[in-house]
Amino acid sequence: MWFAEAMADRIDTFSHDNLTFDVLDTGPLDGEVIVLLHGFPERASSWAQVSTLLNEQGYRTIAPDQRGYSPGARPRRRRDYTIDKLVGDVVALIETIGRPVHLVGHDWGSNVAWFVTMQNPDLVIDLTAFSVAHPAAFLRSLLGPQALHSWYMGFFQLPFVPELALSGQWAPTRYWMSRGGLGRDELARVREEIVDYGALTGGLNWYRALPFADRRSFGRRVQVPTTMVWSDKDLFLGRDAPAKTAEYVDAPYDLIVLPGVTHWIQTQAPESAAAAILERVSG
């Protein structure tokens, strides 16, 4: 792909599909660019500790608040959150940056990163995926125990009820989120940065758009060097999908297992997260 001149100034926002996205851009302007994609229920700020560690090593980190999270990018229809649109947003960001990037994702951000990499290998130098496996590996794992880990995806299809449940008022939901690894301070951050910020329905719409996904694209293979990072205390992703992911990568591949860490790797184990990214991007 032909690129315009790489951006020499900070990127605070970018536009795509008549939407405007907020961006956290830190580190040396002339450093190699690492794009960090957040998951649910988080925003770009979830990468703050990891970004600092990467910036100290000379890398520039760019983390967007994605579709449904940025106030200027909250379309109402769930069809506006299909994977092709989420991928298009990230492609627009990379084109704004003006050069291929090291791509990193966590949770839903990993899912988007997988698809960006499969469909646009010319935009991605390498991929580091946290807590979500290759889409085809994940689908295969749903035939086994992973279905029990992913029950909430069905619950999130309901209208209104998930918003009520995740607003922080229901004790069973607080227990489920705490059991999933979120501490009291992190639950307060979800309340402030997602619920009070008006981003909860937008984040849930990523799940509500799943019935409209074109599954024919899920089996594409990855052609760039890739690292999959999985933590063995992850309540939402079992061991099977990460174990199968190597079958879909036609490039150097590493699986890193973090013992004793929950799903929320980048906030609870930022040093390990940064080390995994640095090992991949420096390689």
Question: pLDDT per residue over 26-80, tens digit each?
Answer: 999 999 999 999 999 999 999 999 999 999 999 999 999 999 999 999 999 999 9
Residue 179, pLDDT score:
81
Cis omega (within 30 of 0) on the bond before 41? yes
Catalytic residue, chosen from 69, 207, 234, 248, is 207
Q: What is the DSSP string of 1-13?
A: ----PPP-S---E
Q: Is the pLDDT of residue 189 over 60?
A: yes
Write down the mean pLDDT value for the chain.
93
| Integer Cα distance of 180 and 153 in angstroms | 15
189 vs 281, higher pLDDT: 281
Residue 212, pLDDT score:
92
Model pTM score: 0.95
Question: Length of the chain, please?
Answer: 283
Instruction: Read off the pLDDT of each residue in 232-239 and give the average, rounded to a whole number.
Output: 96
Of the CA atoms within 13 Å of residue 142, those in its CB half-sphere come to 11
> Which DSSP state fits 151?
T
| Integer Cα distance of 43 and 32 in angstroms | 22
Domains and CATH numbers, the chain: 13-282 (3.40.50.1820)
Catalytic residue, chosen from 65, 89, 107, 126, is 107
**pLDDT band at 1, cuts 50/70/90?**
very low
- Which of 108-112, 136-140, 159-163, 178-182 shows the lowest mean pLDDT across its residues? 178-182
Residue 171, pLDDT score:
62
Q: Is 263 a catalytic residue?
A: yes
Q: Is the pLDDT of residue 209 over 70?
A: yes
Any long-range contacts for 158-164 (C-beta under 8 Å, 24+ apart)?
Answer: 162/204, 163/200, 163/201, 163/204
Residue 4, pLDDT score:
47
Instruction: Read off the pLDDT of each residue in 159-180 and give the average, rounded to a whole number.
Output: 78
Q: Is 207 a catalytic residue?
A: yes
Instruction: Read off the pLDDT of each residue in 92-120 and give the average, rounded to a whole number.
Output: 98
| Integer Cα distance of 51 and 47 in angstroms | 6
Residue 7, pLDDT score:
60
Residue 5, pLDDT score:
53
Q: Is the pLDDT of residue 283 over 90?
A: no
Residues forming a β-bridge with 106: 130
